Chains A and B, each alone.
Chain A
């Protein structure tokens, strides 16, 4: 029922955009050196003119980063060479005020993704990240009037230091894992959203991310605070140009859902297939709050991402709805973490994964119900679709239940795309590849229907492109 009146995309354009990627000439005013040491961390903080506490926070995080081992579980990360990465690049001097002020090649890049168009039609505010800093952003006047703060993280640190200091790094401390520590040391850009009590933001807030320099890691940092009764939907979409050498993307996202607030965080990730995408995302849901993660992973070489919700208040709810698509050479190690720390809390995890041409998907989930979390309910459903014999899917569902009065449902299925279903659709006049795409899009529909129309159309197109030329 979607995109009835949407014009069909030009196949050639799509091929160019997504399959081969594109990159604009680099025109930077500053370029940091490769590799990382304490001096470099200090330099980044100085360049940004940060307060002393942030410099200290970064330096401490750097110490932790060097002391922590690489994860001993999950996909192989030996392709990451920390000494071969740029940790900070400043694309332009200062922030651009309007679209016209942006450098041409940056505009060209965004035109291809369609940022200004999307903004006109759909957005309440745009915060587009190019390299490591946000160069273009606009916030709807209405939002400002309501007291909603939406800007890039660096600006937030300057303009709202008290709020930032109060929350920053408190949900995901630097010692949480090696990559959270790295992000804490060298973070740059990302979004800051603050929604005052009782304010409902009608339209989704959006940000677009891209990597556009070789061997350049992107370490954005996002902080969202929803005061009691607030309601906000944040969307991040990523597309990236293709490069020959490895790239690292390691973000940290912290979300605070106060009493009776509701936050929805939607991601459509399409990093190019040389990117290591290692992201730590965590939310805290207080009394009767509702946190939803909607996480779609199409691109990257390796993704490790397990959005989590700490249900700390009575009656809090948490959801993770995710889609992972692994094509040739890709590993999507995704999942969810739900920690029930209060009575009457509810969690729901719905994971849909698709593996094709030797791609690997894994669902890795942890549900923890604490001793005093009476009458909580847990629902976990993970479905895997394998498109051929070469592909693989694994499920690692961990449950630590310390309470007897809990309702738990767990379902897991693995299916292959059936010849009978393909024949049925082909008998209606569809080509085999179209029939496969339709079945795959149908398979993820329980999750994709939760994504705003523009994004779900893009997601469908991405999947159709991934399905092209498949040998079934």
Chain B
């Protein structure tokens, strides 16, 4: 038996020990003496969540194709093991080799949501890596961050040596080659980091200095060394079919959140909903070819033995070959006795046909994401879905045998009035009415319309990045208003409504649009014991509020404050293709309730064409 980092006794004491043993199907084992670079890839949340993430699978496969690199994985130990590792001074280790992370060359952390920030500190701390980058020395592991939250990396900047802005497929080779050169040449960490700043997409936070105005806003953000670029442009893959994609994804030995093969059909989104960060930062849309996806689906099903396959993308209905792909997969999975899990699709004849083929109608539900309760507000947020679309889709589905509908909304978007808030309940009511208009003998019992609201958090690189956010009190008042309106309607017994507490959203907002002055707050919250903030049972708003107070940082300045259109924003040094000018124009159009057509209808000059590919150049050859 290969040795495990944790003793048998500890593994028997903790919940779900399979999280910590590695040994998954298709995990890569190499001889450490035969590689130049040891890379530990971390998803800073529990194993079951981290193992469900596609990005790590892609980069894990890509890194390990290099003979000189051994990429392994690490996840956040659950609080039960966290306690034991601290008490018994056991260093955090990588799953494949079971070797301590602190002996690795790189620790790469994917940063998918703000509420995992304290888990990043947990991982560094348990690894024995100094939390503050400035305190790291020559022998310390180099800590690099990536993922959507790095489009505003500033609250985390002092904890990282490097950030990789954009899609990982393009520049890691250059980074690894440079590292080898510096390692061989015996050069210093400082020299290496400085050289990294010249690699496209790499942001070296220690080489920039912010200064602030008296009102607390950013005055300037400038490089402090020669040759360090003032702006960092995001990296992206131009030819999706040529980008590496794993033939043999990892298959966990325990049940994880998404235990299935994931086929990424495209990146980016043509829609431009104004609240949506992903819709801007992944521009332009780039599709994978149908042939590539067909072959890849079969390869992955055969190499994993998974019982389910799913498609991944933003707005899958916009993939141009969706019909062909889905019908191919239905035939293929039928023969193999594998299920297809469909992403949420625009409800029309095609999607209803597909859904009736792959799901049990009695158990499944229709999903709509109107995001706002009235047409006026849907125009403000540029959500193309109309009430007519929803009611027509629901009506067709009800006639096809469905009787459950799920609706997703956001509360607190710019210009929202009480009428918009009540509109959420009213839309649910009208869908129920459509159901009960069907003759009784053709219905299948009662219908169930479930509405969920989340609280709108303004995000960087969206037209709403300047917008004020509602206070927690406003949010809750609006949620009660939805609830109250639901209860006062005729079909209230067929309507369900879910919302959650507002505290987490307020914190998420502060971190999302924060700057470097939040790092000490995150540090203090962590020292107070905050980890797994994304988990209700571990989130402590009280500790976070103490951390803000003790650091003398005003949370409202970051969360609810409306930004001036001329304000220098902490993330302005990042160039994601989409220009600030375009975002401003979109914000102004939003306030006037003017919708903007999608990228295939008309180019709106967002700036993403600068990359020279994708939807911007479709039909232009």
A and B associate: no
Binding site for B on A (CB under 8 A): none
Binding site for A on B (CB under 8 A): none
